[in-house]
A and B are shown apart, each in its own frame.
Chain A
Amino acid sequence: MTAASRQPSGAASYLRQRPGGSGHALRLYLPALLTLLPALVIFCAFWLLPFSRLIVMGAEADRSSGISAYLTILTHRQYLISLANTIGISLIVSFTAVAIAGIAGFFLARHHFFGKSVLVAILTFPLAFPGVVVGFLVIMLGGRQGALAQTSLWLFGERWMFAYSLAGLFIGYLYFSIPRVITTVMAACDNLDRSLEEAARSLGANTWQVTKDVIVPGIAPALLSTGAICFATSMGAFGTAFTLGTRLSILPLNIYGEFTNYANFAMAAALSVVLGVITWLALSLASRLAGGNLGASA
């Protein structure tokens, strides 16, 4: 082969010969904008505008207090308690789920054994259960005729139940949170750079030190992110609480009550907006911490 260069062929020469490079790019640009139009139109018509109206409506007068619904939330005990309840239980569930699923998820990511894929499947398929089903399953475990009640009846002669109390709600929220955390933790563990652990070991670190200094800092963003997602999902969970018929005062049930029972639209709107803002903030935090995947609401 001689050192002489050869003429560019094919696509390269075609592009080189065409004048107005930027015009070519523009021709691709406009149709691209049009392709977004249907989605944006539907979104604006059915969500953006209605939600804006909702925000405005929240400022209107609450039926019972007479002042703006937002203000009522901030000043009246019952709503503050409800807010505190919802946030409180969501936080506790998030911590617990991350702790439990963190251990289990890490264990599964690092070990391979017969039957492992079955275990993983069992732990992740509840992801698709709507809150109602989870509530029903909690009743199966802890309701009047549930597993616990039957066992305690058989052992001690009295029924033990937890389904209709705070504990039941907690168990229910835990049930749909664990699968979310497990999938994230397993993915994060898979993505860990093994050579970091090997480096730590080469410097003399034992297993505990490696976990503390390398592994936990490595998956911390994923844990925080999935914790935030659990928080947001628990905050907005309606089906579970509804099925459990809980008398506990939590925001989603309040919203439903205000709208359906009292026709107090302003308050329902205000509560929805407040709840929406909190969950949106939590999820933004989550995606900032990791390139998160959002799970379905419950």
Chain B
Amino acid sequence: MSSSVSITLTQCSRTFAGGNTALQPLDLHVEAGETLVLLGPSGCGKTTTLRIISGLESPDKGGRVQFGKRDVTALPIEKRDVGMVFQNYALFPNMSVADNIAYGLKIQRLPRAEIEQRLDDVMRMVDLQGFGERRIDALSGGQRQRVALARAIAVRPKVLLFDEPLAALDAKLRDRLRIEIGQLLRELGTTAVYVTHDQDEAMALGDRIAVMQAGRIAQLGSPQEIYHQPANAFVADFIGAVNCLEVITTRADGGLAVHGGELVAPHLTGVSTVYCRPEDIQVVPAAQADIRGKVVQSIFLGQTQRLMVDTGGAAPLQVEASSRQRYSHDAIISLALPAHVLFHPDRPTPSVRTQEVVNG
């Protein structure tokens, strides 16, 4: 619908007055029309990156921000033609819904007819028809977020920026809005940068995800790459749950002896730790077991259950199993860990593309 541009950050860093370095020198390229999610714990620099892209903050000397071929580093936000959605909505309390959404259009001095037309379009897109004259304080959280969204897209920005827009909503509402936002982004085709600390949101919305830690990008890749081929221990641990099995010895035939049994992983010879996701471990009859251990805890999660299995290692193994089968405390359990579910950040896993690592 609107023309979108690519975004390029070159060597953008940001150190605040108190000495706090929020962002190490960063290079980032967002393709036109792509949705990039910045994911990470609080303090990792994701919001700072977003604000540098938006123009609310400037990168330290030497940093450059480009929209397409145009260098916008020196431009303040009001000149960058972006649309921004804030965590606490930032709706103007003294204006009605329609006035809020039309604010940017009035600033652009668009003719009345056009403003009306766009208002209609946009309110339909976010499912807020008929809400035009309502006051902001009469709206629910979900409705307010939709108004914020409508206001940002009404101006047909080149870039859409989201600063944890769903963080203030309850879980069910978040799920629903996440889907709606995803549809909207696909429909609009605008370049979007989305900041969140919620992994599910990141994986659902992002074409690519940049996992950030302590002012750096720990890994940049598609959701599948991030999840199945984490580039380092931080990403492996941050995204989903992960088990680390200590390799006691490596046998001559390539087998890896771990606490509780032995694993076969030809692509992981020489590593000291083997990683594995809980949902990839299968409970099997004793004959097929790679590893055996004792169930010390079972946590019922509705759909599945999480078993904590003591194999003699430092930490119990987390295993995700069907919730139908009951395991009593101290029951011995047999687990299978086939080669293709084992990984290590430094080793490429067989039969998948190599991962992309930037500024690791």
Interface set of A (CB-CB < 8 Å, partner B): 1-3, 193, 195-196, 198-206, 209, 213-214, 217
> Taking the nearest CB of chain B, how far is it from the CB of A29, in angstroms?
35
Q: Do residues B92 and A205 form an inter-chain contact, with CB atoms below 8 A? A: no
Contact A195 B77 (CB under 8 A): no
A203 to B297, CA, bound (A): 53
CB distance from A59 to the nearest CB of B (A): 45
A contact residues around B108 at 8 Å (CB): 204
- Please give, as numbers and ranges, the residues of chain B lying within 8 Å of A198 by CB-CB distance: 56, 77, 84, 86, 90
A153–B87 Cα distance when bound, in Å, is 63
| Chain B min CB distance to A209 (Å) | 7
* B94 CB within 8 Å of chain A: yes
Say whether B107 faces chain A, with CB atoms less than 8 Å apart. yes
Query: 4 tightest CB-CB pairs across the interface, nearest first?
Result: A203-B104, A199-B90, A195-B90, A202-B84
On B, residues with C-beta under 8 Å from A are 54, 56, 76-79, 81-84, 86-88, 90-94, 103-104, 107-108, 148, 151-152, 155, 161, 297, 300, 329
> A199–B107 contact, CB under 8 A?
no
| Nearest B residue to A210, CB-CB | B78
Inter-chain contact A3/B300, CB cutoff 8 Å: yes
Take A1-B297, A209-B107, A217-B94 as given contacts and tell me if A202 and B88 are in contact as well, using a CB distance cutoff of 8 Å: no
Closest to B88 in A: A195
Contact partner, A203, options B76, B87, B103, B300, Cβ 8 Å: B103
Nearest A residue to B300 by beta-carbon distance? Answer: A3
Chain B CB within 10 Å, residue with most, of A193, A204, A217: A204
Measured CA separation A203–B77 after assembly (Å): 8
* B76 and A201 within 8 A (CB): yes
Q: Once the chains are docked, how many angstroms separate the CA of A201 from the CA of B148?
A: 14
Number of residue pairs A-B, CB distance < 8 angstroms: 64
CB distance from B63 to the nearest CB of A (A): 20
Is there contact, CB below 8 Å, between A201 and B77? yes
A202 to B80, CA, bound (A): 8
> Are A202 and B54 in contact, CB atoms less than 8 angstroms apart?
yes
**Residues in chain A near residue B94, CB distance under 8 A:** 217
CB pairs A–B below 8 angstroms (28 shown): A1-B297, A193-B90, A195-B87, A196-B90, A196-B91, A198-B77, A198-B90, A199-B86, A199-B90, A199-B92, A199-B148, A201-B56, A201-B77, A201-B78, A202-B54, A202-B56, A202-B77, A202-B82, A202-B83, A202-B152, A202-B161, A203-B151, A204-B79, A204-B104, A204-B107, A204-B108, A217-B92, A217-B94
**Cα A213 to Cα B56 with chains together (Å):** 19
For B78, what are the chain A residues with a Cβ–Cβ distance below 8 Å?
Answer: 201-206
A sample of 17 more A-B contacts (CB under 8 A), given A195-B90, A202-B54, A202-B161, is A2-B329, A193-B88, A195-B86, A195-B88, A198-B56, A198-B77, A199-B91, A199-B92, A200-B103, A202-B77, A202-B83, A203-B78, A203-B151, A203-B155, A206-B78, A214-B92, A217-B92
Of chain B, the residue at the smallest CB distance from A205 is: B107
CA distance A86 to B76 in the complex (A): 49
Shortest A181–chain B CB gap in Å is 22
- CA of A198 to CA of B89 in the docked complex: distance in angstroms? 11
Name the residue of chain A whose CB is nearest to the CB of B83: A202
Q: Is the CB of B56 within 8 A of A203?
A: no
Report how far A199 CA is from B94 CA in the complex, Å: 14
Q: CB-nearest residue of chain A relative to B154? A: A203
Q: How far is the CB of B100 from chain A (nearest CB, A)?
A: 9
Chain B residues with Cβ below 8 Å from A204 are: 78-79, 81, 104, 107-108, 155
Q: Give the CA-CA distance A200 to B161 in the complex, in Å.
A: 14
Q: Which residues of B contact A213 (CB under 8 A)?
A: 92, 103
